[in-house]
Each structure stands twice: as structure tokens, then as C-alpha cells.
Amino acid sequence: GAGVSQSPSNKVTEKGKDVELRCDPISGHTALYWYRQSLGQGLEFLIYFQGNSAPDKSGLPSDRFSAERTGGSVSTLTIQRTQQEDSAVYLCASSQGRERTTEAFFGQGTRLTVV
């Protein structure tokens, strides 16, 4: 596609359930980011994938959060045993990575509500 695609756009889940959020980056982009945006908290870095390198997981807030990127393209962010404080908008972005400018292109986000 022409841009970064995220699905679902909205997700309401019950506390304690697991959720999966999907990101389809721009074709050919080697770098992929996940960010969380909570009200009043700004943009919080979660995880960064760059090509075949080991991901930078330094932003994941707890071991309930994990992410993978299959075949260097699609990424899935998984939140296990969701808590109410996980409610936020989860943004995915991709960029061309090495040897290019590192401008990131963002998806529209997934709004997660934990009830």
C-alpha cells in the first residue's frame, strides 16, 4: 500500500484478555517503530526493528508486552493480560533506515480501550 496500515483502528477488550495489534509498513522500509500515545503522556517509544538486527526493546513497559516482525515486513504487537492502564493509541511507523534519511511515516494508530 501507499502508507503504513494499522489494524484494527479501534479495539475494546476486557481486562485480562490478550490483544494483538497489526502493522503493515511501507514496502521496502527496513525500520519499523511502535509507539504508545496516552493522554497527557506524549509519545512513548516501545520497540524498534531495523532490518535483521536484534530489535531495540528498551521501551516495552513490562513483560506483558511483546512484538515481532515476520519476514522483515508485517509486525504484530501483543499485549497479554491487558490492564486498564494499557488503554492508549498505539502508533506504528516505518522508515527507509540505513543509507537514507530517517524520516518516519506513521499509521493512523489503533485505539485500545481496556474495560
Between 35 and 65, name the residue whose CB sits nearer to another protein: 35
Question: What letters, b where the CB count within 10 A reaches 16 and e where it falls short, cover 6-17?
Answer: beeeebebeeee
CA distances from 101 to 94, 104, 105, 109, 114 (A): 12, 9, 12, 23, 37
What x/- string results for residues 29 through 68 when contact with another protein is judged by CB under 8 A?
A: --x-x-x-----xxx-x--x-x--x--x------------
- Taking residues 83 to 102 in sequence order and writing x for each that binds another protein by CB under 8 A, - otherwise, the string is --------x-x-x-xx--xx
Residues paired with residue 88 on neighbouring β-strands, in sequence order = 112
Instruction: Report the interface residues with another protein, using CB under 8 A.
Output: 4, 31, 33, 35, 41-43, 45, 48, 50, 53, 56, 91, 93, 95, 97-98, 101-109
